[in-house]
Amino acid sequence: MNWPVFFPNVKIKSTKDLIIRLLTEQKEMTNQSLFMAIKKKFGISVTYQAVRQALTELTIANVLTKNKKFYSVSIKWIKSLNEFSHLLKKKYVDDFDIKIIDEKTKEIELNSLYDLGHFILYSFNDHFFDIDKKMDLYMFVHHLWFPFFDSRKRQLLRDFFSHNKNYIFTKNKGIVNRVFGVFYKKFSKVKLGVKFDDFFDIIIQGDCIVKIYMPKELRNRMNKLYMTKNPFNFKILDEFSDVTYAKYPIKLIITRDKLIAKEMKEKLNKLL
């Protein structure tokens, strides 16, 4: 990151950290008021010049914004912290493998379709992709995803869809996709059998583009399963369960780019 990270429960006494601590308690402060507060509240001897230099660097780094003489914490930086904490949770609590490629791009590796479904569901609900809450969703998938065995999770998905404008495009139009389409069509515009030349499944929300890579063996299993002519039997249900929990490395490449996202949405809109 090109800016300091604020840790609420860690005793850090850098001038920048103290400034951020003060601005989390009082929304706007001047250079002079911050200088006096650091000395009075933290008992630290600091020069006025050092405070001014720290404020200048934090403003250049977009951690703070300045309005006339008043400094406040940048909303953009707060959103970045939220995304960063979400990534830390996925890495250390949920044990997902995350690689931060650059400021705009991250790569996440999951272990199964089960992990993928839950990551996407909670990312939708936490606005991890749609940090500016544009409340739109575009998806291109080779097959419609099974909308969870658990009714509580299906309800979470329903709740999310009901607050968004959703557009879902599916390459395959076999009977399984038509059955799953009954669920998705209650909340989304769904188009099956779309000729779309892309190797990945794709999610676009706001300025975020998510490309999902599934290994060849998993894709082959899914193609065979979704192309069945008789999905209404226990053998197929067992296979859906098996393929959902089977261990396969699934990679997500998450990029934030306003222009590319806009162009991809326009391209998908032409397919409606």
Beta bridge partners of 165: 136
Residue 136 in 3-state DSSP? strand
Order of strands, sheet of 105-110, starting from the edge strand that comes earlier in the sequence:
97-100, 105-110, 250-256, 208-213, 201-205, 136-141, 165-170, 189-192
pLDDT in tens, 149-205: 778 888 888 888 988 899 999 998 888 899 889 999 999 999 999 887 677 999 999
Conformation bin of residue 144: beta by default, left when phi > 0, alpha when psi is -120 to 50: beta
pLDDT in tens, 207-235: 999 999 999 999 999 988 888 877 677 77
Q: What is the pLDDT of residue 94?
A: 59
Predicted structure pTM score: 0.64
pLDDT above 70: residue 129: yes
CA 150 to chain centre: 22
Distance separating alpha carbons of residues 80 and 85, to the nearest angstrom: 9
